[in-house]
A and B are shown apart, each in its own frame.
Chain A
Amino acid sequence: MDIVVLVKQVPDTESLVQIAGDGVSIKKDDIKWIMNPYDELAVEEALRIKEAKGGTVTVLSVGAQKAQETIRTALAMGADKGLLVNDPAAEGGDALATARILAAAVKNLPFDLIIAGQRAVDEDNYQVGAAVAEFLGIPHVSLVSKAELLEGRIRCQRAVEGGSVTVEAPLPALFTTQRGLNEPRYASLPGIMKAKKKPLEVKTVAALGLDPARVGAAGRKVVVKALRLPPERKAVRMIAGETPAAIAAELVRVLHEEARLI
């Protein structure tokens, strides 16, 4: 079973995200970068499948040179090799433009299964996995909280509002992760040492045979006109009272009479 995992480097969820001077991008210095949390689930699931069935796990990313760190983290967890597409022409793409690069890169790799995160917690696009599958002409299942390999196909439990649906798809296929799928392991010290010697290739857009006009910022269809901070809420109004019952009564009164919510 050859598995490709799509991983993206994103700002730590704790980071303060600031708008850059151009008004349409964020300040990239001073940010701590991490592996997208949903991609950690993807790496973990790939490793578990490999441990059960054998095969290889390749980690693929489109990003800055710095994204090598994220690939190394996946290698330290136990993945076999990494591929980073790093190219100024690849930068600043929307989900579709990035998926085009990822699909082109996957085409050169052996794969039975691709695992991606359901969304990257930077732009929260929820899009790249499905788009990669479409470009490769393979089925995908999104929001998977349980995956089981059967003969030549995969059975996925997909989280939907109010329950779950179990879907089967023939391999090769792609699925995207939902929390509950697994608990990602931490890289061990020996894992980190070994990762340093594992192959990590870096490629350009041209090497993938892609038209630079269709990828990166040039290929963008969803154009950011402005970034802004969310509207501020008014300062909190603390509801005081002598007893819990008095606080409760006052809270219900304001929600009823002023906010008109009850």
Chain B
Amino acid sequence: MSQGVVAITEQRDGRFRKVSYEVVSEGRRLADGLGCQLTAVVMGSGMDALAAEVKSYGADTVVVLDAPELADYRTDAYTNVLAGWLSGAAPAVILTGATAQGKDLAARLAARLDAGLAMDCTAVSLQGGVLTCTRPMFGGKIFADVQIQGSPQIIAVRPNVMRIAESPKESAVEKPAPQLGEIRTAVVAKTMDAGSKVELTEADVIVSGGRGTGGNFVPIEELAAALNGAVGASRSAVDEGWRKHGDQVGQTGKVVSPALYVACGISGAIQHLAGMSTSKVIVAINKDAEAPIFSKADYGACGDIFQILPAVTEAVKKLKG
């Protein structure tokens, strides 16, 4: 009988991604509900410091899978090592973040383990020992409540949605030898974008610009900076070459869930809404009072972004002192 919850953390270059705290916190909540143990898994090379850090979020055990070959994420290396360790651990539930890495790993792992996987979930509820996961589908037009049959159940949660809760614990740290298996892929280069420090999918605040910017993103960037947020864009803005592909929010771009999403000069096409409709609060600024974005927003301001945004930035700066 398999039991226990495993939360798979994600780090890059020796630093946890925010989603790691989210999956461990959510894992704690589910393990408490199921009355079982929570194990947090840290994978990488030279992970001792991170193993210590994860203790604050309530794992009973921290398993560190540490090898030089795991320094950079590679699907085959990570899947082999994780599947190797999981064959002994045999958990009932595996949680991971639905990030570029987490989605990739979860998908390959699910096929390897022949396990059901609920991808990009925005909620997990527990009733009578049964987990029900909520997944937005069709670009968020429909929500599906799904249950996974068999064991383990793999759940990938949408970044920025699960609540982070600190609950320090004297976790036991284990360092089993990673079973690397055959690794056929190699990471030959890494390029990190210069500029914006806050990653779109992790940002608490996103200020996005569309065709209405006419290509001038300066007021957008200034407001994002004042709010310590990230800059997003509509597909039109990306297609015009004003912003890079990685900034695109929507059905063929990133799916984001910030606390505050400010849409500036964006009409609110259904494919754009697909990428941001689970944001907690949506503010729209558009000069067209009939723009569809207003019907999906919590707060709206009708006017020219080039007049309103600088004033908003000023007011924010004044407020923050």
A230 in complex: contacting residue of B75, B107, B136, B251, CB < 8 Å: B136
Given that A126-B107, A252-B316 are contacting pairs, would A225 and B145 also be in contact in the complex, using a CB cutoff of 8 Å?
yes
- List, in ascending order, chain B residues with CB within 8 A of A17's CB: 138, 141-142
Complex CA–CA separation, A218 to B150 (angstroms):
14
- Is A221 in contact with B149, judged by CB distance below 8 angstroms? yes
A223 to chain B, nearest CB (A): 5
Binds A, one of B54-62, B210-218, B274-282: B274-282
A248 in complex: contacting residue of B101, B138, B259, B312, CB < 8 Å: B312
- List, in ascending order, chain B residues with CB within 8 A of A168's CB: 185-186, 188
> What is the interface of chain A mostly: helix, strand, loop, or mixed?
mixed
- List, in ascending order, chain B residues with CB within 8 A of A66's CB: none
A146 to chain B, nearest CB (A): 11
A157 to chain B, nearest CB (A): 8
* A130 contacts B by Cβ under 8 Å: yes
B270 to chain A, nearest CB (A): 6
B189-214 interface mask toward A, CB cutoff 8 Å, 1 = contact, 0 = none? 11111000001111001000000000
A92-104 interface mask toward B, CB cutoff 8 Å, 1 = contact, 0 = none? 0011100100000
In the complex, chain A residues 91-150 whose Cβ is within 8 Å of any chain B Cβ: 94-96, 99, 121-127, 129-131, 133-135, 139-143, 145
B266-310 interface mask toward A, CB cutoff 8 Å, 1 = contact, 0 = none? 000011001001000111100000000011111111111001110
B112 to chain A, nearest CB (A): 6
- Is A223 in contact with B147, judged by CB distance below 8 angstroms? yes
Complex CA–CA separation, A163 to B99 (angstroms):
13
- List, in ascending order, chain B residues with CB within 8 A of A96's CB: 110-111, 114, 116-117
- List, in ascending order, chain A residues with CB within 8 A of B144's CB: 123, 224, 226-227
In the complex, chain A residues 13-63 whose Cβ is within 8 Å of any chain B Cβ: 13-14, 17, 19, 26, 37-38
* A64 contacts B by Cβ under 8 Å: no
* B248 contacts A by Cβ under 8 Å: yes
- Is B271 in contact with A13, judged by CB distance below 8 angstroms? yes
A194-223 interface mask toward B, CB cutoff 8 Å, 1 = contact, 0 = none? 000000000000000000000000001111
B147-175 interface mask toward A, CB cutoff 8 Å, 1 = contact, 0 = none? 11110000000000000000000000000
- Is B137 in contact with A122, judged by CB distance below 8 angstroms? yes
Q: How large is the interface on B (under 10, 10 to 19, 20 to 34, 35 or more residues)?
A: 35 or more
Tally of chain A residues near chain B (CB < 8 A): 78
- Is B190 in contact with A165, judged by CB distance below 8 angstroms? yes
- List, in ascending order, chain B residues with CB within 8 A of A170's CB: 184
- Is A167 in contact with B185, judged by CB distance below 8 angstroms? yes
* A190 contacts B by Cβ under 8 Å: no
Count how many pairs of residues, one from A and one from B, have CB atoms less than 8 Å apart in the complex: 256
In the complex, chain A residues 213-262 whose Cβ is within 8 Å of any chain B Cβ: 220-230, 233-234, 236-239, 244-245, 247-249, 251-252, 254-256, 259, 261-262
* B120 contacts A by Cβ under 8 Å: yes
For B148, B283, B295, which residue has the most chain A Cβ atoms within 10 angstroms?
B283
Complex CA–CA separation, A222 to B137 (angstroms):
14
- Is B111 in contact with A131, judged by CB distance below 8 angstroms? yes
- Is A159 in contact with B245, judged by CB distance below 8 angstroms? yes
Complex CA–CA separation, A165 to B201 (angstroms):
18
- Is B270 in contact with A237, judged by CB distance below 8 angstroms? no
- List, in ascending order, chain A residues with CB within 8 A of B99's CB: 161
B302 in complex: contacting residue of A158, A159, A234, A238, CB < 8 Å: A238
Complex CA–CA separation, A122 to B25 (angstroms):
30
Chain B, residue nearest A10 (CB): B138
B257 to chain A, nearest CB (A): 13
Complex CA–CA separation, A224 to B149 (angstroms):
11
- List, in ascending order, chain A residues with CB within 8 A of B270's CB: 13-14
- Is A121 in contact with B118, judged by CB distance below 8 angstroms? no
* B29 contacts A by Cβ under 8 Å: no
- Is B103 in contact with A142, judged by CB distance below 8 angstroms? yes
- Is A221 in contact with B150, judged by CB distance below 8 angstroms? yes
Complex CA–CA separation, A143 to B108 (angstroms):
14
Additional 18 contacts, C-beta under 8 A, given A124-B136, A127-B106, A245-B314: A95-B117, A96-B110, A124-B137, A126-B120, A134-B111, A139-B184, A161-B202, A165-B191, A166-B189, A167-B187, A223-B148, A233-B296, A236-B300, A237-B298, A247-B311, A248-B311, A252-B319, A255-B283
Can you list the 9 inter-chain pairs with the closest CB atoms, starting with the nearest?
A221-B116, A248-B311, A130-B107, A134-B111, A244-B307, A163-B192, A131-B111, A180-B245, A166-B189
Chain A positions near chain B (C-beta within 8 angstroms) = 11, 13-14, 17, 19, 26, 37-38, 94-96, 99, 121-127, 129-131, 133-135, 139-143, 145, 155, 158-170, 178-180, 220-230, 233-234, 236-239, 244-245, 247-249, 251-252, 254-256, 259, 261-262
Chain B positions near chain A (C-beta within 8 angstroms) = 17, 72-76, 79, 98-101, 103-104, 106-108, 110-112, 114-120, 132, 135-150, 184-193, 199-202, 205, 227, 238, 245-246, 248, 251-253, 259-260, 270-271, 274, 277, 281-284, 294-304, 307-309, 311-312, 314-316, 319-320
* CB pairs A–B below 8 angstroms (29 shown): A13-B251, A19-B142, A95-B107, A121-B251, A124-B135, A126-B120, A127-B107, A130-B107, A130-B111, A141-B185, A143-B100, A161-B17, A161-B201, A161-B202, A163-B191, A166-B188, A170-B184, A179-B238, A179-B245, A221-B116, A222-B118, A223-B147, A224-B144, A229-B142, A230-B277, A233-B297, A245-B314, A248-B314, A262-B227
